[in-house]
């Protein structure tokens, strides 16, 4: 099972991303990625890549660890990711030049783990139900599978599966029941993992998932896990009290942060803050990450910092258009 430890995208009925890239001197080429409707876990979406290359053009898609040839491809998200990075590369055989476009696409997930009743606060020695909300009703029991901290749930004496596995019932909660729960079901004949629920006996528990060690030029993902309900009980934000992350890429989408570092031998602190301003409550977690590699000199670090500032400025300029 993959690590499901979670940037706004384009949300119109027909989504199009277009970028102009300089090709050979005196010429200009562009690459466009388009798709229809929302990208939803369990449902097929067809993506189309087009460009100003007209004759015998070669198209290649790259996403996650996959490579697909052709100007279109159809993909069904499994729900483990809230975003996906798509890249389309176009080779013009006449000029020998390759143009590329990368798009960050939001993935909606209709399946989630909820507590029942909704306003119940988990407490030790009390009963609790976790419900696989959004799973199709009337199916076979084996169509819903429960996971805790990435592993299939093993039922103990205080646990039961009810309503064809749609509900995971606890007779009396124990400290060992705390953890991150997900359910797996089938939507349109495709296996889909739900949004998760962090069961904790502190309603303001916050933690950050992701690697402790990263490498220059390689993207890593960090997720802020909270036991409060996002945009209902609390909102989540990231802060960098000991210095802004330096690297070739940085994206922040509420509880998810993606970063490609560029300075080996350095350390970076990420702090996630969950808060409810109206109630005057907040909680936070900090994670220190080491960038493995040979340290660079001060002048090289300054150059990398300047390049990152320029690239981040261009990214923000493009996103605001």
Say how many domains are in the chain: 3
The more confident residue out of 83 and 8 is 83
Distances (CA, A) of 56 to 34, 52, 89, 92, 171: 21, 12, 14, 7, 65
CATH of the domain at 142: 2.60.40.10
Predicted pLDDT of residue 200: 77
Same domain, 271 and 243: yes
Residue 2 lies in a domain: no
200-224 pLDDT, tens per residue?
Answer: 776 678 999 999 999 999 999 999 9
Residue 7 lies in a domain: no
269-298 pLDDT, tens per residue?
Answer: 999 999 877 666 788 999 999 999 865 444
Residue 137 lies in a domain: yes
Residue 30 lies in a domain: yes
* Structure letter (DSSP) for residue 60: E
Same domain, 38 and 141: no
Domain that holds residue 155: 112-199
Same domain, 174 and 251: no
Taking residue 298's Cβ as centre, other Cβ atoms within 10 Å add up to 8
Same domain, 151 and 178: yes
230-281 pLDDT, tens per residue?
Answer: 877 789 999 998 899 999 899 998 899 999 999 999 999 999 999 877 666 7
Residue 211: Cβ-neighbour burial (10 angstroms; 0-12, 13-18, 19+): middle
Same domain, 18 and 97: yes
Distances (CA, A) of 315 to 51, 87, 303: 21, 15, 18
Same domain, 69 and 150: no
Domain-terminating residue out of 72, 106, 140: 106
Same domain, 214 and 307: yes
Residue 72 lies in a domain: yes
Domain-terminating residue out of 83, 106, 129: 106
Distances (CA, A) of 270 to 231, 273, 296: 21, 10, 22
pLDDT bucket at 180, cuts 50 / 70 / 90: confident
Residue 5 lies in a domain: no
Same domain, 230 and 128: no
Tracing tokens 């466009």 back to the chain, one arrives at 32
Residue 6 lies in a domain: no
Same domain, 48 and 76: yes
State how far the Cα of 27 lies from the Cα of 48, in Å rounded to an integer. Answer: 24
State how far the Cα of 227 lies from the Cα of 210, in Å rounded to an integer. Answer: 17
Domain-terminating residue out of 199, 226, 251: 199
Predicted pLDDT of residue 117: 81
Residue 147 lies in a domain: yes
What's the mean pLDDT in 160-172? Answer: 93
Neighbouring-strand partners of residue 311: none
Which DSSP string corresponds to 284-313?
Answer: EEEEEEEE-SPPPPHHHHHHHHHHHHHHHH
pTM for the full model? 0.59
Same domain, 236 and 293: yes
Residue 303, phi then psi, degrees to nearest 5: -65, -45
Is residue 47 a contact partner of residue 33, using CB atoms and an 8 Å limit? yes
Same domain, 231 and 191: no
State how far the Cα of 301 lies from the Cα of 29, in Å rounded to an integer. Answer: 33
State how far the Cα of 269 lies from the Cα of 275, in Å rounded to an integer. Answer: 19
Same domain, 193 and 257: no
Predicted pLDDT of residue 159: 95
């Amino acid at each position: 099972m993959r690590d499901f430890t979670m940037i706004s995208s384009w949300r119109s009925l027909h989504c199009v991303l277009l970028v102009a890239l300089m090709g050979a001197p005196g010429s200009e080429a562009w690459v466009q990625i388009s798709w229809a409707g929302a990208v939803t876990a369990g449902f097929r979406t067809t993506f189309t890549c087009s460009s100003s290359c007209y004759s015998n053009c070669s198209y290649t898609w790259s996403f996650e660890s996959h490579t697909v040839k052709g100007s279109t491809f159809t993909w069904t998200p499994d729900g483990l990711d809230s975003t996906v990075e798509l890249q389309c590369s176009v080779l013009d055989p006449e000029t020998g030049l390759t143009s590329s476009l990368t798009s960050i696409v939001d993935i909606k997930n209709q399946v989630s783990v909820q507590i029942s009743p909704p306003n119940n606060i988990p407490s030790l020695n009390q009963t609790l139900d976790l419900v696989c909300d959004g799973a199709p009703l009337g199916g076979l029991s084996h169509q819903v599978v429960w996971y805790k901290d990435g592993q299939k749930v093993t039922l103990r004496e205080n646990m039961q599966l009810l309503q064809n596995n749609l509900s995971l019932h606890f007779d009396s909660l124990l400290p060992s029941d705390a953890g991150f729960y997900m359910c797996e079901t089938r939507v349109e004949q495709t296996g889909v993992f739900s949004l998760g629920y962090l069961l904790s006996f502190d309603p303001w528990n916050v933690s950050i998932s992701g690697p402790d060690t990263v490498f220059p030029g390689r993207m890593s993902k960090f997720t802020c896990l909270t036991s409060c309900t996002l945009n209902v009980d609390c909102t989540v934000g990231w802060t960098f009290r000991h210095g802004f992350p330096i690297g070739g890429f940085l994206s922040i989408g509420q509880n998810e942060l993606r970063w490609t570092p560029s300075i080996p031998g350095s350390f970076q602190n990420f702090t996630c803050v969950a808060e409810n301003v109206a109630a005057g409550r907040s909680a936070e977690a900090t994670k220190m990450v080491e960038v493995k590699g040979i340290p660079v000199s001060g002048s090289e670090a300054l150059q990398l910092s300047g390049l990152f500032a320029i690239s981040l400025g261009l990214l923000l300029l493009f996103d605001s258009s």
